[in-house]
Amino acid sequence: MPIAIKFERAVFVLVLTFVMCSVSGAIAMQKLRSAEFFEWSDTWYKTTRATTRSSLDLRSINESIIFVEAELDKIGVAKQEQVMEIGTSSIEQGIQPDSSPRDWSWGFWPAVPLYPYGRRRTLRFEVVKDTIWTFDQVQGILYTVVPIRMTVVKLKAGGLLVYAPIAPTPECIRLVNELVMEHGDVKYIILPTSSGLEHKVFVGPFARRFQNAQVFVAPNQWSFPLNLPLAWLGFPQSRTHVLPENSSQTPFAQEFDYEVLDIDLGRGSFAEVALIHKRSRTLLVTDCILSVPLSPPAIVQLDPYPLLFHARDNALEAIEDNEANRRKGWQRICLFAIYFRPSALEITGLLQAFRNALKAPEKSKKAYFGLFPFRWKENWKQSFDALQGNGRPFVAPILQTLILPQASRQVLNWADKVASWNFERIISCHFDSPIEVSSRQFRSCFAFLEKKTAANQDSSSSQSLLESDSEFIKEIEAFLVKYGIATPAKEKV
Ligand SMILES: [Fe+2]
């Protein structure tokens, strides 16, 4: 099949999925708005009734919402019961022993329907003593699970600042409230991205649990397919503000500074807010910097099934739960999550995949009925070693290829400003945390945007990933440019 047709189909499926997610998301988020929602629905109802003479009863709408919420909850419970069958392992830190499945409930998972759907565990870690804590959950597609992270910083005058909230499950809220009891209420909540739906979706529901918090968002927020106002996405209207261009104008300016990277992509913007907590010399970023750990993070090991699923070389292999297999599965998940289709991965034909499924040792629903249409080449570990690079920070290839080269000069100016701050660690919203790193190392992550010179050659080569692994992302770029969805990368600086 010609590659363009394959792409067309893939893009069609992606767009269709996204449209469905966005519509269901907008509806689900509306439900989160409780009093404001009912006020809105009341107005909508009255208007609709006046204009259409509909016999629709508002009470029945509200009853329907309660019914749907109950159904979502049941689905979540069923899924978590599956997870419980697998069992959990003890881990060195971050475990919350008094946690129960009801505590993991996230009823609005259809808003962005990612694994593990309606039940999300949360682990809290203290990064800087009595000052900074991270909260990890997992999310992914087809068992490609990676951490998603929220960071909480204690304010000098009392109270907390929350950067990039995660799903406000009862467990998550309990863990935050333990800090509230000791250090004061949540005062500020930051949404540090305009395009990262996986972060944006939690901000409204999280903010509603902390009624005294002011919400600050990155500029130029947008949603797809309809560009809805933030209030329609569940944000508390009276408490939500766009981060001022001048960072000294925020109420937390004494302790923090920030720099916003805001790239206009034509059909929306890519924004990332780098926020520094000056006293602890800690930089918070969202998606722009990653570091890949050799072993699976603790939050991913709470349910090892996805690790073991991906540890198999092919569909016919039975897999044992041990440390080596968990690590192997994690390393392959990283290749999937970062490259989508790494060079060491072979996709088996549909017919072969079904034949293999018939012979697979596990054919349960959880194992996708034995379907595993992949075969790893022997050199897969070389790809992972290049990706992992002894934990050095880097920019994800999807951003290196599709987003940041759209505004190289702007990105480098932003990176220069951030690198002028005095920090010694980065907390990113994904993969490893914290990353012990200097501002010089941070700046060198963006050398791919610069023409090679004698001065920057060393730093750019130290970031190098295998070119062959990024080929699929380059094919996506070529397709998007061909059909006018993206513009070609700008000249290097
Ligand atoms: Fe993200």
- 97-106, 218-227, 232-241: which is most confident: 232-241
> What is the whole-number distance in angstroms between the Cα of residue 235 and the centre of ligand 1?
19
> What is the whole-number distance in angstroms between the Cα of residue 353 and the centre of ligand 1?
32
- pLDDT tens digits for range 74-133: 443 333 333 333 333 334 455 555 678 889 999 888 888 888 989 999 999 999 999 999
Structure pTM? 0.79
> What is the whole-number distance in angstroms between the Cα of residue 371 and the centre of ligand 1?
28
> What is the whole-number distance in angstroms between the Cα of residue 202 and the centre of ligand 1?
12
Give first-to-last CA distance, the chain, whole Å. 38
> What is the whole-number distance in angstroms between the Cα of residue 207 and the centre of ligand 1?
19
pLDDT > 50? residue 35: no
Contact at 8 Å (CB) between 296 and 329?
yes
pLDDT > 60? residue 13: no
> What is the whole-number distance in angstroms between the Cα of residue 380 and the centre of ligand 1?
25
Task: Identify the residue whose tokens are 């870690």.
Answer: 125
> What is the whole-number distance in angstroms between the Cα of residue 197 and the centre of ligand 1?
8
Least confident piece of the model among 27-31, 260-264, 486-490: 27-31
Supply the mean pLDDT for the chain.
Answer: 80
Task: Identify the residue whose tokens are 């500074």.
Answer: 257
Q: Please tell me which residue, 1 or 93, carries the higher pLDDT value.
A: 93
> What is the whole-number distance in angstroms between the Cα of residue 104 and the centre of ligand 1?
21
pLDDT average, residue stretch 366-375: 84
Convert the chain into a string of H (helix), E (strand) and C (coil). Answer: CCHHHHHHHHHHHHHHHHHHHHHHHHHHHHHCCHHHHHHHHHHHHHHHHHHHCCCCCHHHHHHHHHHHHHHHHHHHHHHHHHHHHHCCCCCCCCCCCCCCHHHHECCCHHHCCCECCCECCCEEEEEECCCEEEEEEEEEECCEEEEEEEEEEECCCCCEEEECCCCCCHHHHHHHHHHHHHHCCEEEEEECECCCHHHHHHHHHHHHHCCCCEEEECCCCCCCCCCCCHHHHCCCHHHEEECCCCHHHCCCCCCEEEEEEEEECCCCEEEEEEEEECCCCEEECCCCCECCCCCCCHHHHCCCHHHHHHHCCCCCCCCCCCHHHHHHHHHHHHHHHHHCCCCCEEECCHHHHHHHHHHCCCCCCCCHHHCCCEEECCCHHHHHHHHHHHHCCECCHHHHHHHHHHHHHHHHHHHHHHHCCCCCEEECCECCCCEECCHHHHHHCCHHHCCCCCCCHHHHHHCCCCHHHHHHHHHHHHHHHHCCCCCCCCCCC
Amino acid 84: pLDDT: 31
pLDDT > 80? residue 64: no
> What is the whole-number distance in angstroms between the Cα of residue 473 and the centre of ligand 1?
18
> What is the whole-number distance in angstroms between the Cα of residue 285 and the centre of ligand 1?
10
Look at the alpha carbons of 285, 290, 295, 300 in this order and tell me if their dihedral is positive or negative. Answer: positive
Task: Identify the residue whose tokens are 């034909």.
Answer: 349
> What is the whole-number distance in angstroms between the Cα of residue 113 and the centre of ligand 1?
15
Amino acid 149: pLDDT: 97
Contact at 8 Å (CB) between 400 and 466?
no
Nearest to 211 by CA among 190, 186, 231, 241: 186
**Residue spans of alpha helices (H) in 32-129:** 34-52, 58-86
Please give the DSSP secondary-structure letter assigned to residue 370.
G
> What is the whole-number distance in angstroms between the Cα of residue 286 and the centre of ligand 1?
6
Amino acid 228: pLDDT: 76
Amino acid 271: pLDDT: 94
Q: Please tell me which residue, 484 or 249, carries the higher pLDDT value.
A: 249
